[in-house]
Chains A and B, each alone.
Chain A
Amino acid sequence: AIQMTQSPSSLSASVGDRVTINCRASQVIRNDLGWYQQKPGRAPKVLIYDISNLQSGVPMRFSGSGSGTDFTLTISSLQPEDFATYYCLQDYSYPPTFGQGTKLEI
């Protein structure tokens, strides 16, 4: 199975900050990468798919980039509602695998 390694595992930031979360795949995964946000007690929600496509309804302060094995989620200016846990997901090959998560805290 492809391993997805996220960094950092936790991150402290302030409202207005620019933050980046990284995800490294154990092998090339083409474009088959998405980013998810999860708040406590809620289901995950897709933010980005195909590395950089913004899901409908997601604010433009979220963006994705990368290629090959290295990918990045960027939040350009943190808002209070962005404090949550973020996961990357590859579905290039089965089984689909998630990163271990990055908890973004105030």
Chain B
Amino acid sequence: QVQLVQSGAEVKKPGASVKVSCKASGYTFSNYYMHWVRQAPGQGLEWMGTIDPSGDFPTYAQKFQGRVTMTGDTSTRTVYMELNSLSSEDTAVYYCARACGGGSCYGRFDPWGQGTLVTVSS
């Protein structure tokens, strides 16, 4: 079945960086972009950016420009999201979610990874 498996929880100090991975299985990896979405504790969902499978064409939310890097590796079917200069406001669960692969599937992010909790604390 189509599945996204993310890396484990991280604890980081302010100013550090974190890199979260998302490994895909069960579909043709090269045919789908991947979104990254985060959710702070008790808050809503926030889109961070999108990456193509090979990592050549990232699109980032303006809020994270200059601080986020998304990459992809078709050989390992894995995408990565690296966030720099962490502060306590970056404490959140980070999700990867597969984008629509074409055709009529607008508004559909599916499936989602299980989420990776990133805690930023001194």
Binding site for B on A (CB under 8 A): 30-36, 43-46, 48-51, 53, 55, 87, 89-92, 94-101
Which residues of chain B have C-beta atoms less than 8 A from A87's C-beta? 44-45
Decide if B106 touches A32 in the complex (CB within 8 Å): yes
User: Chain A: which residue is nearest B46 at the CB level?
Assistant: A98
Q: How far is the CB of B26 from chain A (nearest CB, A)?
A: 14
| Total A-B contacts with CB atoms under 8 angstroms apart | 74
The prevalent SS among residues of B at the interface is: loop
What is the minimal beta-carbon distance from A50 to any residue of chain B, in angstroms?
5
CA A55 – CA B35 in complex, angstroms?
Answer: 19
- B109 CB within 8 Å of chain A: yes
Interface range on chain B (Cβ under 8 Å from partner)? 20 to 34
User: Judging by beta carbons under 8 Å apart, are A96 and B44 in contact?
Assistant: no
Residue among B61, B106, B112 making CB contact with A31, cutoff 8 Å = B106
For B61, the chain A residues whose CB sits under 8 A away are 95
**Is the C-beta of B114 less than 8 angstroms from some C-beta in chain A?**
yes
In the assembled complex, which residues on chain B have CB atoms less than 8 Å from the CB atom of A92? 106
